[in-house]
Amino acid sequence: MVQSINRSGFIDTLKNTPPLLFFTPLCQTTTAKNKPLSPEVFARQDQDQDQDHGYHLSTRQAFTVSNSFAETTTVIDDYHGVKIADPYRWLEDPDAEEVKEFVQEQVCDTREKLRETITKLFDHRDMMRRLSEGNKYFYFHNTGLQGSRRPLCAEGEAEVLLDPNELSEDGTVSLNSYTLSVSEDAKYLAYGISKSGSDWVTIKVMRIDDKIVEADTLNWVKFTGINWTHDGKGFFYSRYPTPNVLICLVVLWLNVCMGLLDYGCSDKKEEFGWVINNSTPTSRSKPLRLRSLFSSRTRPMGSLPALNLPLQYPTARRDDSVIDDYHGVKIADPYRWLEDPDAEEVKEFVQEQVTLTESVLKTCDTREKLHEKITKLFDHPRYYVPFKRGNKYFYFHNTGLQAQDVLYVQDCLEGEPEVLLDPNGFSEDGTVSLNTLSISEDAKYLAYGLSTSGSDWITIKVMHVEDKIVEADTVNWVKFTSIGWTHDSKGFFYSRYPAPKEGENLDAGTETNANLYHELYHHFVGTDQSEDILCWRDSENPKHMFGAGVTDDGKYLLLYITENCDPVNKVYYCDMSAFSDGLEGFKGGKSLLPFIKLIDNFDAQYQHIANDDTEFTFLTNKDAPKYKVVRVDLKEPGSWIDVVPESGKDVLESACAVNGDKMIVSYLRDVKYVLQIRDLKTGSLLHQLPIDIGSVTGISARRKDSTVFIGFTSFLTPGIIYQCNLDTGVPDMKIFREITVPGFDRTEFQVNQVFVPSKDGTKIPMFIVAKKNIKLDGSHPCLLYAYGGFNISLTPSFSVSRTVLTRHLGAVFCIANIRGGGEYGEEWHKAGSLARKQSCFDDFISASEYLVTAGYTQPKKLCIEGGSNGGLLIGACINQRPDLFGCALAHVGVMDMLRFHKFTIGHAWTSDFGCSDKKEEFGWLIKYSPLHNVRRPWEQHPEQPSQYPSTMLLTADHDDRVVPLHSLKLLATMQHILCTSLKNSPQTNPIIGRIDCKAGHGAGRPTQKLIDQAADRYSFMAKMVGASWNE
């Protein structure tokens, strides 16, 4: 019996900068004093008492009358209880067409007459004495109507030294008289040239004697003096970094701060009193037009955006009429319309988000390099654990960049392998994948399930192994199933849901309807699905799900019944040897199979290991949170004995019968695997199998065989398949196949495991992968991944994409084994579920804080990532601690915790989350639901203003596990609350969504899509945390 062959998963599943002081060799002198920075307000001040403190989009009327403009009555701000109207808020947008129209309409009819008079009066000589240096005198002069004054050098007869009027035809290039300096010996003139009156200047250098302009050109200079050294070899000046959003924010910050020093700020109640009365205390005596500069909310906060321009987010319609009542609490759901995947409006929203995201990704300069490197490293042969049926061996293999893994068959281990099934031939783009398969006991037939676009729905087909002919059998509407062959190879058991009613959505994978009324069927090879035998259903419990397996002796059919994702199940059995007419006798639907109830309650999990006639051996967590092996005789179902008792610390992960009277068991010890050979009858330990620190990816064994195949991986081991022979006295572990990645050198990296105290003191294991001899100076980009739910353990595994991150971007990669998972058994799982779900978030936040305090990274360089339940984790943590992270990647997350149970298989997750239909559980969910807890952090903590990290929500159009509506609704909510509902929002970090087409929850995704997505999300991460590429 093949145990746990795992082939699925994800691809591997700025502070404010002050002006800088520079010294440039050669030329400059600063004799002119620096003019203090003072904001100059030229905008019309219609109502000095109005300022914007609210965060609502203004609405306005169109121009209808010449020389008049519309007032808006909806823009009203609240200043410490005082209502202040700002009817002309719309005039703050200089790019708006109606503002331009307004400006044009202000042109006075007497303009030409005034122009003529003023021009006549302006035409007079203007001279200003400026300075003397060396034995020369310098001054500015204008003959009357010249565009700019000219500095003249006087030594006897005056002569022009520099004439700015020659620098442009319209006189808009001027000499900034406050950025001009002559060297002490009057050898050089350094001067700043400004265009169109901007504060930005370009400094040039002229040799005074011959008036030759040197090649020196100094750009991005602002607010500077020029100070020459007395030897005339060079000068000091101040500048900003090369322009990007950082410069804009720093300049904005400087203007705001200088303005606040002079005027005060209306955000503070006392200072609001000053400005509303147009006066300040004695040291602050200037009148102020409210919003004459910027409100304090335009200050940069949190991590700075890496984008050059602010994003133009699409505006999503809000339906404020959708309000739900949860036990007396009113909850709005304005984006309920995004739950309909077939609506044109939803498709338009998705397309707008796709366009927005692509515009951001185009600015990520590491995107192509990541794509190239990941593709190169991914292009290596991969093999998976072989398994035996009849006298044949089967295994999966990928040559490197094939979209889907290919199934091979060989007559013996030394024989020539042949392709049995190549899923790459089912579609041109590789989006049809192999979801499940089962080979009959005699290796005569292969039954396999095909999934389209990553959907959970599959279609089962049947192939004759010997001649590779595909039979006509087609089994539809199958989901969440195993395939169990009867030992006569006449047919197999499978599970399915009822077919959709006529008129319902038939695009399997995009529907959102709840999956109810699972049923167990048997299909006979060579017949139509309509003739299949209904073996079990339970109309009274529509949420129950069924799985079936045939025992190794072929005698019993075991029925496993679950109602959710809790590790608990019922177990029924049916003695098929007692059927006088075989299963054919049940054709026609006369009755269900006569199952006998062995376990009829949901208080523990049971997994069959082996049986000797009526004596069954199970792996269970019954009264054993870390699991144990037990035995029961069907003749005495009330008498159970322990074969392998529960360990005090280690978690018993799996057990498989092998070589007649033995079993191979795997334990998890502090998130590292331990393998043992034990006696099947007594449970006594026979051998420890040597294995490195890492993970067991699959164990292939049968009770009738003495050979076991074991798959292994670790952070620095791409993959090893061990072959273990149990016929010898001491098991012989040898390498059967080893996967190598060209260009990967494990000696470049180091792996550490630490145990981080969480908020309540619980020690949380965390693996840290980094370059060797890393300096803990807080300078490194860091990627932290976690899951924390459904009893699932995250163990070490090799990742091509994260290896590229570590090697070429200097990133530190970490996995936190937070509560909610299965790393320490069922108690660890329960400690992070239901009412205690917050423990997951606390653990993850504590792990993040550790990485900062230990010197691995700093908040602005820390990226967090998770998928599915881990996507929920990311959504909750950026809500609770937006200041702690620089970037967030949330894959296919459960984001609407009040409605998740209404869609597809969401009702099965209530075992981990709870359900909003219950009052107490609603109280748990509303506290952390990502969709319902988006807040503006600058309002929540004004004393330490911050913003959300740069965020990418990833989903897929055919994800029918966690349907896309979760990510879409959160995306619309975040963009509205943090961005589009505010003018000049402090949220400058991007909030975007990557929405994949023809893809699902993750499994079955073609290689190219895996590479594309990895390059996209990690180039986004690199740009947002400021990671630079290193070959």
Assign residue 955 the CATH number of its domain.
Answer: 3.40.50.1820
> Does the pLDDT at position 8 exceed 90?
no
Q: How far is CA 533 from the centre of its chain?
A: 45
Highest-confidence range of 145-159, 546-560, 726-740, by mean pLDDT? 546-560
Structural domain range at position 269: 245-298
Q: How far is CA 722 from the centre of its chain?
A: 35
Domain check: are 520 and 595 in the same one? Answer: yes
Could you tell me if 366 and 1027 are in contact, meaning their C-beta atoms sit under 8 angstroms apart?
yes
The string of pLDDT tens digits covering residues 488-530 is 999 999 999 998 877 565 566 677 788 999 999 999 999 999 9
- pLDDT value of position 54: 30
**Cβ count within 10 A of residue 171:** 13
For CA atoms 464, 468, 473, 477, the dihedral sign is positive
Higher pLDDT, 959 or 277: 959
Average confidence score pLDDT of the chain: 84
Domain check: are 28 and 155 in the same one? Answer: yes
CATH of the domain at 574: 2.130.10.120
Across residues 321-339, what is the average pLDDT?
97
DSSP H stretches of helix in 704-758: none
In angstroms, the CA 962 to CA 902 distance is 11
Plot region of 236 (φ>0 → left; ψ -120 to 50 → alpha; else → beta):
beta
Contacts of 845 (CB under 8 A, 6+ apart): 759, 877, 880, 881, 884
Q: Which of 160-164, 548-552, 556-560, 833-837 has the lowest mean pLDDT?
A: 160-164
- Would you place residue 149 in the very low, low, confident or very high pLDDT band (cuts 50, 70, 90)? very low
Count of positions (residues) in the chain:
1031
Domain check: are 835 and 713 in the same one? Answer: no
**Helix pair 344-361, 965-975: axis angle to 10 deg:** 70
> Does the pLDDT at position 684 exceed 90?
yes
Plot region of 719 (φ>0 → left; ψ -120 to 50 → alpha; else → beta):
left
Q: How far is CA 275 from the centre of its chain?
A: 44
- Does residue 56 form part of some domain? no
Domain check: are 234 and 215 in the same one? Answer: yes
740, 765, 780: which is the final residue of a domain? 740
The string of pLDDT tens digits covering residues 72-88 is 556 787 777 777 878 88
SS3 category, 369: helix
Residue (of 271, 252, 207) closest to 28 by Cα position: 207
Q: How far is CA 725 from the centre of its chain?
A: 44
- Does residue 96 form part of some domain? no
239, 256, 284: which is the final residue of a domain? 239
Could you tell me if 168 and 149 are in contact, meaning their C-beta atoms sit under 8 angstroms apart?
no
- 98, 103, 107, 108: CA torsion to nearest 10: 100
Domain check: are 689 and 626 in the same one? Answer: yes
> Does the pLDDT at position 414 exceed 70?
yes
In angstroms, the CA 882 to CA 893 distance is 18
In angstroms, the CA 593 to CA 557 distance is 10
Q: Which of 544, 901, 932, 1001 is catalytic?
A: 1001
973's enclosing H/E stretch is: helix 965-975
Q: Which of 256-265, 595-604, 718-727 has the lowest mean pLDDT?
A: 256-265
Q: What beta strand segments (E) does 440-544 contain?
A: 445-452, 458-464, 469-478, 484-485, 491-496, 519-524, 533-536
Contacts of 14 (CB under 8 A, 6+ apart): 246, 303, 304, 860, 1026
In angstroms, the CA 720 to CA 382 distance is 10
Domain check: are 969 and 873 in the same one? Answer: yes
> Does the pLDDT at position 535 exceed 90?
yes
**Helix pair 838-853, 919-928: axis angle to 10 deg:** 20
> Does the pLDDT at position 128 exceed 70?
no
Q: Which of 12, 405, 959, 996 is catalytic?
A: 959
- Would you place residue 117 in the very low, low, confident or very high pLDDT band (cuts 50, 70, 90)? low
Could you tell me if 212 and 203 are in contact, meaning their C-beta atoms sit under 8 angstroms apart?
no
- Does residue 129 form part of some domain? yes
Domain check: are 591 and 613 in the same one? Answer: no
SS3 category, 879: helix
C-alpha distances in Å from residue 44, one per residue of 411, 933, 949: 88, 40, 37
Domain check: are 721 and 803 in the same one? Answer: no
Higher pLDDT, 259 or 708: 708
The string of pLDDT tens digits covering residues 886-929 is 999 999 999 999 999 999 999 999 999 999 999 999 999 999 99
In angstroms, the CA 222 to CA 890 distance is 41
Q: Rg for the chain (alpha carbons), in Å?
A: 36
Tokens 């500069």 sit on residue: 293
- Does residue 936 form part of some domain? yes
Active site residue 868: yes
Q: Is this prediction's pTM over 0.95?
A: no
Secondary structure of the chain: what % helix, strand, coil (to 5)? 20, 30, 45
In angstroms, the CA 662 to CA 686 distance is 9
The string of pLDDT tens digits covering residues 450-463 is 999 888 899 999 99
- Does residue 308 form part of some domain? no
Active site residue 1001: yes
Active site residue 56: no
Indicate the pairing of strand 173-182 with strand 188-195: antiparallel
- Does residue 1031 form part of some domain? no
- pLDDT value of position 297: 30
SS3 category, 608: strand
Q: Which of 440, 666, 868, 967 is catalytic?
A: 868
Domain check: are 449 and 506 in the same one? Answer: yes
- pLDDT value of position 259: 45
Widest pairwise Cα distance in the chain: 129
DSSP of 892-927, one letter per residue? S----TTTGGGSTTGGGGHHHH--TTSHHHHHHHHH
In angstroms, the CA 218 to CA 20 distance is 13
C-alpha distances in Å from residue 1021, one per residue of 274, 782, 783: 45, 10, 9
Domain check: are 555 and 704 in the same one? Answer: no
C-alpha distances in Å from residue 713, one per residue of 53, 212, 719, 959, 1007: 56, 69, 5, 28, 19
Domain check: are 925 and 836 in the same one? Answer: yes
Could you tell me if 1002 and 454 are in contact, meaning their C-beta atoms sit under 8 angstroms apart?
yes
SS3 category, 726: coil
687, 711, 740: which is the final residue of a domain? 740
Indicate the pairing of strand 234-239 with strand 20-25: antiparallel
Higher pLDDT, 195 or 324: 324
- Does residue 733 form part of some domain? yes
Highest-confidence range of 18-27, 234-243, 933-942, by mean pLDDT? 933-942
Residue 934 per-residue DSSP state: -
Domain check: are 792 and 673 in the same one? Answer: no
SS3 category, 544: coil
- pLDDT value of position 706: 94
C-alpha distances in Å from residue 693, one per residue of 111, 571, 839: 84, 35, 28
Token pair of 744 as six digits: 């990967």
In angstroms, the CA 864 to CA 154 distance is 66
- Does residue 1028 form part of some domain? no
> Does the pLDDT at position 937 exceed 70?
yes
Q: Which of 10-19, 570-579, 895-904 has the lowest mean pLDDT?
A: 10-19
How many domains does the structure of the chain reveal? 5
Q: How far is CA 874 from the centre of its chain?
A: 8
Contacts of 360 (CB under 8 A, 6+ apart): 307, 311, 990, 992, 1020
CA angle, 401 as apex, 395 and 407 as ends, to 5°? 20
